[in-house]
Amino acid sequence: TPESQAPMLPIRAAIKSLRRSPGFATVSILSLALALGLVAAVFGMVDALRRPRTISHEPERLFSILFSGNGKAGQVTKADHFDVIQRYVRSIQETAYTRHIGFATLVSGDLLAEGSGRVVSANYFDVVGVRPIAGRVFTSATADEDASASVVISEALWISLFHRNPRLEKLALRIESADGMGRRQVVGVLPAEYYNQTGTDFWQVMPSNIAAYAAADRRVWPIVRVGANATIDSLNFLIVASGQVPD
């Protein structure tokens, strides 16, 4: 139908220009289509298990997009991938970014715990629709300062290490992970349900320049929120079809 064909026009134009880098379309676009299909099943499973207490706002509209490869010429960057989905996949309304840290040792005074962490973009919690139960989350205005000094923790860590102390300005963690070791100020606490949903105990923030951060670490990937009428089938259709446009 005309309605289904119209969104493909800007994507087709983008693919034609991006094919100047050999292998880009097959590496990034087709892998994007596959990743969307796989992640839809994961989010659907999470949503079904957590209902009616899924903490994220409308989780059925959230998708994680995974990329692999950098083109036959070795010149396709994460910034190129991000640019395509932001500019040409019109179903996407908002985009945040995340990177898994892995397990870390968390120390507060004489108390010690282990937990799994993530580094996220400043708008991450707005995109997924999660609000803190104490303190604040990251913002674009504080991202560069928070990147080296602050941490948001789960309610479980707040209880086990700090006994629900409401004076967050007095709470600090020493975090020892694959990223290094450092002391961070606790600025916010997320509800227990979000740990149940993600398995994450603490969150740090990326600097405001996401492209530069992603260029230094290819493990960064987008979390997108799509329009209310978008479906995984329509996303797959647009992305796979765009990869078949002739030069």
**pLDDT higher than 60, residue 31:** no
Are 157 and 116 contacting, i.e. CB atoms less than 8 angstroms apart?
no
When pLDDT is averaged across residues 164-171 and rounded to a whole number, the result is: 96
Stronger pLDDT, 163 or 69, i.e. the higher one: 163
Stronger pLDDT, 72 or 118, i.e. the higher one: 118
Contacts of 103 (CB under 8 A, 6+ apart): 114, 115, 116, 177
Contacts of 6 (CB under 8 A, 6+ apart): none
Torsion angles phi and psi, residue 3, rounded to 5: -65, -40
| Nearest partner of 176 among 100, 97, 102, judged by Cα | 102
**pLDDT higher than 80, residue 177:** yes
When pLDDT is averaged across residues 14-27 and rounded to a whole number, the result is: 48
b/e per residue 5-15 (b: at least 16 CB within 10 A): eebbeebbebb
d(CA 111, CA 107): 6
CB-CB neighbours of 70 under 10 Å: 19
pLDDT at res. 90: 77
pLDDT at res. 242: 44
Helix, strand, coil percentages in the chain from 3-state DSSP, rounded to 5: 40, 25, 30
When pLDDT is averaged across residues 192-219 and rounded to a whole number, the result is: 90
d(CA 119, CA 210): 11
| Nearest partner of 194 among 124, 123, 106, judged by Cα | 124
d(CA 48, CA 122): 28
Query: Token pair of 183, please?
Result: 């002391």
Q: Please name the helix (run of DSSP H) or strand (run of DSSP E) that holds residue 105, with its range, or none.
A: strand 92-108
| Nearest partner of 121 among 216, 208, 214, judged by Cα | 208
CA of residue 78 relative to chain centroid, distance: 14
> What's the Cα-to-Cα distance from 27 to each of 97, 199, 209, rounded to whole Å?
20, 30, 25
pLDDT at res. 29: 45
pLDDT at res. 227: 86
d(CA 241, CA 237): 6
Model confidence band, residue 13 (pLDDT cutoffs 50, 70, 90): very low
d(CA 6, CA 53): 37
Which one-letter amino acid corresponds to residue 90?
Answer: R
Mean pLDDT of the chain: 77
pLDDT at res. 3: 37
Stronger pLDDT, 83 or 200, i.e. the higher one: 200
